[in-house]
Amino acid sequence: MKVKSFTGNSLPDALLKAKQELGENIILLESREIPASRTKTGKRFVEVTISVDERSEQAKPWQPPVLTKNKKPAPQAASRPQPQENDFTRVINNILARKPKEIHQEKQILEELAELRRQIAQLSQQQKPAENPLPENYRQVLQHLTGKGLGQEQAERLIRRAYQLTEKGANASKQEIIRVCRKELEREFRVHHFKTDAKEKKQRVILLIGATGVGKTTTAMKLAAHPAIYGKRNVAIISTDPYGTADALKAFSRMNGTAVLEKIRMDELTEVTERLKDYQVLIVDTPGQSPFAPNYMAKLEEYIRILKPDDIFMVVSMNADLKDLFISSAFFMLLKPTALVLTKFDETSQPGKAFPIIHELNLPVAAMCEGKRVFIDVQPGNADYVLDRIFETE
Ligand SMILES: Nc1nc2c(ncn2[C@@H]2O[C@H](COP(=O)(O)OP(=O)(O)O)[C@@H](O)[C@H]2O)c(=O)[nH]1
Ligand SMILES: [Mg+2]
């Protein structure tokens, strides 16, 4: 993979130059406009960062997939649900048509999406009437759990388990059922443990990924500030947002003494990390974008290739609809995140959504956020925080 920048009077002009030099198979990683006020010539220009697979010149020219209607379908693997043609898959097919070299990867995404859709359908399935109706106290706790965001199936499984574990079985009190449910949920809640040793020599590089507006930039500051996270270590935040950093990040830098580097381009990353080699922790904040945006995933993969992060935290907002969250997560999961940061607990009435999220994405929780205040509204992942919120009214 080769990465190179080109400039031109306009985006098409810069792309044309890139194509002339690197051929048709280029991938646009980044583009930004340099305003006239900042150029020597006094004219605005556009800069693009391009990647190209150097082996691609010998590769067979790519053809878009042909959808044949009358052909006999290929035999299907028994356990793999096949995605059906609908609006959603048409959108994905559109992406496929634009990203020739990642066609294999995109097929995997489709399969994962189909699998996720099946799981989501199960999550939202209505409870079937039980042959033996649940005792009233269990029914009430089950209703409370689903109301607080646990998936129907997960909550039913928990209640069945509670029934087996409570001493009084059908006659157990609500308090007793809740106590057992709490214990079981505590075991399901997985926590990411930070290495907080201030003397640790090896530098840790953390990459933050996630959809637009979920709270990545705010999380970068919160992680840098919290004493039980990286607050006691020498931290630098690298912002790769081409539009610069938020004022909040600049103010935080002044207040907390954290180094903040802004508008760092892909081709500057190696040199910047080399310059920052004495910092104990580098937190790299990425600009949010829809995971469906063409080339966005390729760009994030390129960050990972260059930075070789020790941890990739996927930031997800608790106020998101679970269905949308799982669909966009399917893309981000391809980047193999190591842990979750759950934000905006203050903006949900269903804190229990944390459990289906942890369960479906099979990731531990690094940190949880409940507001905009950098120095206050954050804590490392822990089950009690979520469980207290689920059961506070009971
Ligand atoms: N209520 C609430 N707002 C938050 C939280 N985390 C971030 N925000 C706000 O959400 C908005 C987007 O956050 P930002 O960090 O810029 O998101 P990014 O696009 O992922 O970098 C900002 O207004 C933040 O102050 C949180 O835990 N709770
Ligand atoms: Mg941001």
Q: What interhelical angle do 103-123 and 322-333 show, nearest 10?
A: 150
Q: How many Å apart are CA 316 and CA 343, to the nearest integer?
A: 6
Identity of the amino acid at 316: V
Ligand of minimum distance to the alpha carbon of 316: 1
Same domain as 363, residue 322? yes
Of 32, 55, 78, which one is at a domain's C-terminal end?
55
Query: Is 390 a domain residue?
Result: no
Q: Which atom of ligand 1 is nearest to the CA of 214?
A: 20
Q: Which amino acid residue places its CA nearest to atom 14 of ligand 1?
A: 215
Beta bridge partners of 312: 207
Task: Give the closest ligand to the alpha carbon of residue 248.
Answer: 1
Dist CA 96 CA 361 (whole Å): 24
Number of domains forming the structure of the chain: 4
**287 close to ligand 1 (CB < 6 Angstrom):** no
Residue pair 356/210 in contact by the 8 Å Cβ criterion: no
Domain that holds residue 266: 204-384
Domain shared by 275 and 216, yes or no = yes
Same domain, 161 and 248: no
Residues 183 and 212 both lie in one domain:
no
Residue 121 is predicted with a pLDDT of 67
Distance 220 CA to ligand 2 centre (A): 9
Residue 333 CA to ligand 1 centre (angstroms):
21
Quote the radius of gyration of the chain (alpha carbons, Å).
24
Sole residue written with tokens 């922790």: 281
Report pLDDT for 101: 54
pLDDT along the chain (394 residues), means of 10: 85 82 81 80 84 59 41 43 51 56 61 69 56 85 96 93 87 93 95 78 93 94 95 93 78 93 92 94 89 83 95 97 90 93 97 95 97 95 96 79
Q: Return the sign of the alpha-carbon dihedral for residues 22, 24, 29, 34.
A: positive
**Judgement on whether residues 273 and 159 belong to the same structural domain of the protein:** no
Is residue 195 included in any domain, yes or no?
no
The pLDDT score that the predictor gives to residue 386 is 97
Structure tokens at 343: 């934000």
Domain boundary among 123, 147, 171: 123
Can you tell me the distance from the alpha carbon of 360 to that of 348, in angstroms, rounded to the nearest whole number? 19
Q: Which atom of ligand 1 is nearest to the CA of 288?
A: 19
Residue 169 lies in a domain: yes
Answer whether 214 contacts ligand 1 (Cβ < 6 A): yes
Q: Quick one: 279 and 369 in the same domain?
A: yes
Please tell me whether residues 245 and 153 are part of one structural domain. Answer: no
Got the DSSP string for 30-90? EEEEE-GGGSSSS--EEEEEEEE-GGGGTSPPP-PPP--SSSPPPPPPTTSPPPP-SHHHH
In a domain, 232, yes or no: yes
Q: Ligand 2 center to residue 335 CA distance, Å?
A: 19
Residue 169 and residue 222 in one domain: no
Contact predicate 316/340, CB 8 Å: yes
Give the C-alpha separation, 269 to 291, whole Å: 22
User: Does the beta carbon of 347 sit less than 6 angstroms from any atom of ligand 1?
Assistant: yes
What does the alpha-carbon distance between residue 248 and residue 219 come to, in Å, rounded to a whole number? 12
pLDDT at 62: 36
Q: Are residues 111 and 140 in the same domain?
A: no
Q: Which residues are paired to 185 by β-bridges?
A: none
- The Å distance, Cα 344 to ligand 1 centre, comes to 8
Are both 220 and 359 inside the same structural domain?
Answer: yes
Q: Domain for residue 286, yes or no?
A: yes
Residue 333 structure tokens: 């999961």
Position 51 scores a pLDDT of: 84
Q: Report the amino acid identity of residue 333.
A: M
The CATH number assigned to the domain holding 257 equals 3.40.50.300
| Segments in 258-315 forming alpha helices (H) | 269-275, 296-307
What SS3 class is residue 353?
helix
CA distances from 389 to 17, 138, 149, 157, 352 (A): 56, 19, 11, 21, 8
Q: How far is the CA of 75 from the centre of ligand 1 (A)?
A: 47
What pLDDT sits at residue 76?
44
Q: Residue 394 has which token pair?
A: 């009971």
In this structure, the answer to whether residues 335 and 243 fall within a common structural domain is yes
- Counting from 1 in the atom list of ligand 1, the atom nearest the Cα of 246 is 16
CA 245/CA 166 separation, integer angstroms? 53
Question: Quick check: CB of 341 below 6 Å from ligand 1?
Answer: no
Q: What integer pLDDT is reported at residue 204 of this predicted model?
A: 94
Helices (H), the chain: 11-22, 87-98, 103-123, 136-147, 152-165, 174-188, 216-225, 247-256, 269-275, 296-307, 322-333, 354-361, 383-391
Nearest 5°: CA angle at 116, between 29 and 114? 80
263 and 349 belong to one structural domain: yes
Is position 350 within any domain? yes
* Separation of alpha carbons 3 and 30, rounded Å: 11
Q: Residue 198: inside a domain, yes or no?
A: no
What residues have CB less than 8 Å from 79, skipping those under 6 apart? none
Ligand 1 site, residue 239, Cβ cutoff 6 A: no
Q: Is residue 78 part of a domain?
A: no
Cβ 96 vs Cβ 65: under 8 Å: yes
